[in-house]
Amino acid sequence: MITLLAAGREDPIESLTVPHGVPILGWQRKPHGWCRAEACIPSFRAAQAEDADGVDLVKFAGLLGRQVVVDSEEGVVAIGEPAELAIDEAPDFTLDGFTLSEHRGTKIALVFWASWCGCRYDLAAWDGLHRELAGHGFTIVSVSLDREPLDAAPWTKDVAHPALVDAEGTVAELYNVINVPTVVWIDEEGRIARPQDTMTATDTFRSMNGLSAEAATRALRRWVLEGDTGLTAQAVRDHLRLPTDAERTARLHARLAVWLLRRGRTAAAERHLATAAGLAPHDVSIRRGLMPLTGADPFGDEYFKLREELERDGVAIYRPLPDWQTGGDHAAG
């Protein structure tokens, strides 16, 4: 038996060859091809993954543009999300009973944070902005990257906005979030109005990140109240950080590491963590985010060693967009 990790789910499968007639990843075989809702993979393409014994799961995922990592020794396989990040339609997701596409007509600020980050202290301030601006067709949706939901709970128990926990990392994968805090704005029509941006709601750690919460929240209010995103459509496209194949594969190794750590298979987990760090050394959401599961202190020596490494290699830890920091009132090109 093999454990399949995909779309935030964990399912047992007999083998990597799926018998004919069995749905795969939400797709069903029809006479003209494999279909899901209105989308179909024609039979001539599907034939690349089919043979007399069934359908090769790894090859089928490849037809969907989804990365795969298989650990045969541990009996587990992880399949990533489709690479669909584009400004014209923010990737949809359902998490903790919240479905993004059901909130069309509302401006949304996705605020990615974690209890292992000092940005946890900003959550109350983000909630204050939600309460202040909710009457103007706006909502904050916070997304914790904590792998253990209980770690996020003390910080979200009194908030008024939707507070989600991305324990499997699927939403972070969809939006290519590589560190927290990261904020993404989504407009009323479901388009990305501001791509991944390092924004804070308080100046608690300004001495470390150099960011002005006043400037960030001023930009947010201007968008909600006046419709001014501060960015042209071309600037949004230019700043949208698309995931590389290496980054996507690193996330799958991280997902396998989490699954293994939860089962006490430390040696195998460390192997996947090392691979993830090699593929995406800049991905702090993996390298720091998984420290609590390995017993390391995400606020201690291991984190500061990571910071020193990234700074030495010229890797940005914080990635704010340039427009709002200047306090300008004109859209950046």
**C-alpha–C-alpha distance, residues 234 and 251, integer Å:** 28
Residues in contact with 141: Cβ distance below 8 Å, sequence separation at least 6, in sequence order: 98, 100, 108, 109, 110, 111, 161, 162, 164
pLDDT at 333: 41
- Burial call 117-152: b when 16+ CB within 10 Å, e when fewer: bbbbebbebbbbbbeebeeeebbbbbbbbbbeeebb
**Which stretches of the chain drop beneath a pLDDT of 70?**
326-333
pLDDT at 332: 43
CATH number of 94-240: 3.40.30.10
pLDDT at 251: 97
Contact status, residue 268 vs residue 260, Cβ threshold 8 Å: yes
pLDDT in tens, 137-179: 999 999 999 999 999 999 999 999 999 999 999 999 999 999 9
**What are the tokens at 131?**
């309460």
Contact status, residue 77 vs residue 5, Cβ threshold 8 Å: yes
Rounded to two decimals, what is the model's pTM? 0.93
Residues in contact with 160: Cβ distance below 8 Å, sequence separation at least 6, in sequence order: 127, 130, 131, 134
**C-alpha–C-alpha distance, residues 245 and 174, integer Å:** 13
